[in-house]
Structure 1
Amino acid sequence: MSDLSLAMDEEWARQSVIDTALAMSGSGLSPGRSGNVSVRFGADETSQVLITPTGMAYPDLLPGDIVPLSLDGEVLSGRRLPSSEWHFHCAIYRARPDIQAIVHTHSAYATALAVHEKGIPPFHYMVAAAGGADIRCAPYATFGTEELAAHALAALDGRKACLLGHHGQIACGPSLEKAFELAEEVENLARHYVIACELGEPPLLAEDEMARVIEKFKSYGKQPG
């Protein structure tokens, strides 16, 4: 790939981060300047993280404002500082080569559950969309710390999404589009779970049924090539 093509691809990736952040804010998943978005960019051995900067309103962002980081969190270029949550973004990318994009939101119902340190159990088969039989809630840790990154990584073990105690949610995927879709689904599930709990403790699906659903999701929605 030529240097010009690489530059154009990076410009597109930076704009995609901005577009996702705008969609996240505009949809109500993370109002105002809350939350953050990142994408993995480049070949495995030289990959970097393109992440939203700290403190900037999403409508004001230009591609040059997106911050490139090494997987260890070193700022590689530019004059902006990265989101304060760069620790867990980088930790997830280092540990999970299957993950290419991360969306972190403070969506209302997911955050309400997280405030009570409650995850989302298998009350509905769509919980399996996050990769497992439940969506865990990580213990609380101060935002922007390595401790929070460690808790998030543990809660994401075998999963593509988790809640963060007293904080919000993280959704991951093979692309920004898929990560954003999963963040929407986690919020939808959280809302349904909260409503269901108002009627009493909801019955849960059996472990073997969730295993069947997880297996079915591996081919769900895929069209023959």
Structure 2
Amino acid sequence: MPADKTAKPAKTKATKAAPKAPTPAEDTALRRSIIDHCLAMNATGFNQGTSGNLSVRQGEAMLITPSGIPYATMSPEMIARMPLSGGREDAEGPRAPSSEWRFHRDILRARPEFNAVVHAHAPYATALAMTRRGIPASHYMVALFGGDDVRCADYATFGTQALSDAALAALAGRNACLLANHGLLACGPTLEKAMAIAVELEALARQHHLALQIGGPALLTPRQMADTHEMIRALNYGNG
């Protein structure tokens, strides 16, 4: 029987489309949004001075707050732009990026589901971090952060690769963590969502702190936490 000479089209591997470059107006709006969130963060007492820093994914790069600039005097062009494949020497802009650029870059590079990272020295979360303790299953809202607890990352000097590595380990399977003797980290698909997660974490840290003052909280069981995770998934809770 003659061989079938009908040619079959060769299978080609799909290529990922390059991210669309933002227009100048879109770029400025995103930079302004970062500044607005910084100002709101300090106005509510959630953060103090220039201690916090924010980043947002922009294609294969990130926009990140500059180092040591008071938020009230920050302008859009001061926001640094850094490639996720590079380092501080590759940053674009008139100001150096935050000293914590490493964990911002590494989180956005390792966790594609996140497009924004919030770091703050929120009072109650930082107080717990200063004791090097995380937050166990003392409230069902712990599940909002992805697991049955909020971990506290091992201590490392600020701005170092060691701190970035510790933060990534503490964030495994989570969208937030504490940083020992330092503060908090919260991540999300948008800057608004990351900030909301950070605010929820500070509220939970305050509640846990208060419970510790009156004998300590009763912890939820693994079964109770599993039920909570199931309910959160069913209701898409926290994503509305």
TM-score under structure 1 normalisation?
0.92
How far did residue 23 of structure 1 move?
1.1
2:32 aligns to what SS in structure 1? helix
Cα distance between partner residues in 1 of 2:216 and 2:24: 53
- Residue equivalent to 2:182: 167
| Greater RCO, CA 8 A, separation 6+ | 1
Contact 1:13 1:41 in 2 (8 A): no
Cα distance between partner residues in 1 of 2:83 and 2:149: 32
Identity of aligned residues (%): 50
Q: Which of 134, 138, 149 does residue 149 from structure 2 map onto?
A: 134
- Residue equivalent to 1:81: 96
Cα distance between partner residues in 1 of 2:239 and 2:161: 37
Instruction: Return 5+ residue gaps in structure 2 as ranges.
Output: 1-18
Asked if 1:101 is matched to 2:96, the reply is no
The alignment covers a number of residue pairs equal to 218
**What aligned pairs does 1:144-163 form with structure 2 within 5 A after superposition?**
144-163=159-178
- Residue equivalent to 1:53: 66
Contact 1:128 1:213 in 2 (8 A): yes
How far did residue 215 of structure 1 move?
2.8
Asked if 1:11 is matched to 2:11, the reply is no
Shift of the 221–131 alpha-carbon distance from structure 1 to 2, 3 Å rule, reads closer
Runs of 4+ in structure 1 off by over 6 angstroms are none
- Residue equivalent to 1:196: 211
**211-220 or 18-27, which deviates more:** 211-220
Cα distance between partner residues in 2 of 1:220 and 1:36: 27
Instruction: Return 5+ residue gaps in structure 1 as ranges.
Output: none
Measured on the aligned residues, the alpha-carbon RMSD in Å equals 1.6
Cα distance between partner residues in 2 of 1:222 and 1:164: 25
How far did residue 102 of structure 1 move?
0.7
Deviation digits for residues 129-172 of structure 1, max 9, x if unmatched? Answer: 11111100001100000000000000000000000000000011
Higher Cα Rg: structure 1 or 2? 2
